[in-house]
Amino acid sequence: MKCLSGLLLMYTGNGKGKTTAALGLSLRALGHGQKVGFLQFMKGSKNYGEVKISEKLLDLTLIQTGRDCFVSYENPDPVDIAMAHEGLDILAQWFKEDCFDLIVADELLVALGFRLVTVQEVLALLEKRPPRLNLILTGRYAPDEILDIADTVTIMQEHRHAYQQGVEAKEGMEF
């Protein structure tokens, strides 16, 4: 069996559970004494459960680079573009420092889909990833150029969701 160093994993698709899957692997890594960096693009709310618990998990560093509002797909605000680039800068710094065993770039693929960052910028950054690092990218809109280089790709497909029946988002489930 082929033994790889660090893996590049992607959770994408239109279904729910991408961030949740990344959090699950983060928890597993923490359980093995590993250090985890969790960087959220396009998210700024402090009300997410993962933000609240991150203060209690010593080996988890969670940073948000986004505002607590929706981003316009058709006409993104320059602030949102700047914050996405701030996220890329943080990833570059984390790669350079090489102090994490696992990094999650949560919603980076959405930032790509909303044209806040470019595929070329992300590909160039991925080339600088430490060889031993496990990296997870999450979000809808995964471009083929990045899908093609991932070691593991999971596409979440929505079959049914409670919100389709008018059920509002539930604390602890959706956020």
Q: Give the model's pLDDT for residue 79.
A: 97
Q: Does 3 fall in a domain?
A: no
Q: Which domain holds residue 124?
A: 8-157
What whole-number distance in Å separates Cα of residue 171 and Cα of residue 124?
37
The helix (H) or strand (E) run that includes residue 111 is helix 108-113
What whole-number distance in Å separates Cα of residue 139 and Cα of residue 110?
5
Q: Does 40 fall in a domain?
A: yes
Q: Which of 86, 144, 151 is nearest to 117 (CA)?
A: 86
Q: Does 135 fall in a domain?
A: yes
Q: Give the model's pLDDT for residue 118.
A: 98
Q: Does 173 fall in a domain?
A: no
What whole-number distance in Å separates Cα of residue 108 and Cα of residue 168?
25
Q: Does 52 fall in a domain?
A: yes
Q: Is-contact 156 14, C-beta < 8 A?
A: yes
Q: Does 66 fall in a domain?
A: yes
Q: Does 171 fall in a domain?
A: no
Q: Interhelix angle for 119-126 vs 78-97, to 10°?
A: 10
Encoding tokens for residue 59? 């080996």
Give the CATH number for residue 143: 3.40.50.300
Q: Give the model's pLDDT for residue 2.
A: 57
Q: Give the model's pLDDT for residue 1.
A: 55
How many distinct structural domains can be found in the chain?
1
Q: Give the model's pLDDT for residue 4.
A: 60
Q: Does 111 fall in a domain?
A: yes
* pLDDT in single tens digits along all 175 residues of the chain: 555 689 999 999 999 999 999 999 999 999 999 999 999 999 999 999 999 999 999 999 999 999 999 999 999 999 999 999 999 999 999 999 999 999 999 999 999 999 999 999 999 999 999 999 999 999 999 999 999 999 999 999 988 877 778 888 778 777 7
Torsions phi, psi for 158 (to 5 deg): -75, 125
